[in-house]
């Protein structure tokens, strides 16, 4: 058996790593990016909250971002893992800028609610709470004390 094994030559190691694909899903953030290995990669705006498929083929320096239907949305050059980089294409930057600026309006803000004095109904309700003496005592703590003493017996 050993003679057969010694007679069989081994193949050389391959020049490139096995072409495995790392695939994961990540939701699109409000700033039109998806997170992958400590960095953020841009997507077209308007996809916030939608889970996209991210594909990285070992040995390459690119990340593919696919829609839920499988369509390729964008290919990014990978940033070093954990760098905290935000990688945006010029097209995505311009589209996001247009989306943000179109949300602004030149209309005047809403009118603030006026601070008007209490009406007759509110004054009557306040007088009822204050009692016939008109003092500022709303809650009589003596009544609570009497109830607590009666319960302790």
Alpha carbon 62 to its chain's center: 25
- How much is the pLDDT for 146? 81
Instruction: Calculate the alpha carbon distances from 147 to 74, 129, 130, 152 in Å.
Output: 72, 21, 21, 9
Taking residues 62-76, what's their average pLDDT? Answer: 96
Render pLDDT for 89-127 as a digit per residue (tens, 0 to 9): 999 999 999 998 988 888 888 888 888 888 899 888 888
> Where is average pLDDT lowest: 33-37, 52-56, 73-77, 128-132?
128-132
What's the whole-number average pLDDT of the chain?
87
Nearest residue to 65 via CA among 37, 106, 34: 34
| pLDDT, tens digit (0-9, with 9 covering 90-100), for 36-49 | 999 999 999 999 99
More confident residue, 60 or 87: 87
Give me the pLDDT at residue 95, please.
94
Confidence of residue 134 (pLDDT cuts 50, 70, 90): low
């Amino acid at each position: 058996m050993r003679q057969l094994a010694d007679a069989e030559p081994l193949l050389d190691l391959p020049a490139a790593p096995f072409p495995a694909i790392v695939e994961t899903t990540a939701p699109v953030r409000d700033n039109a990016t998806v997170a992958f290995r400590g960095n953020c990669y841009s997507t077209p705006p308007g996809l916030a909250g939608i889970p996209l498929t991210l594909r990285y083929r070992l040995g390459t320096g690119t990340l593919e971002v696919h829609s839920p239907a499988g369509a390729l949305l964008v290919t990014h050059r990978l940033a070093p893992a954990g760098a905290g980089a935000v990688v945006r294409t010029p097209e995505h930057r311009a589209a996001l800028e247009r989306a943000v600026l179109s949300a602004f309006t030149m209309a005047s803000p809403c009118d603030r609610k006026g601070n008007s004095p209490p009406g007759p109904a509110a004054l009557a309700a306040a007088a009822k709470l204050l009692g016939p003496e008109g003092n500022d005592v709303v809650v009589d703590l003596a009544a609570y004390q009497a109830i607590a003493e009666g319960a302790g017996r």
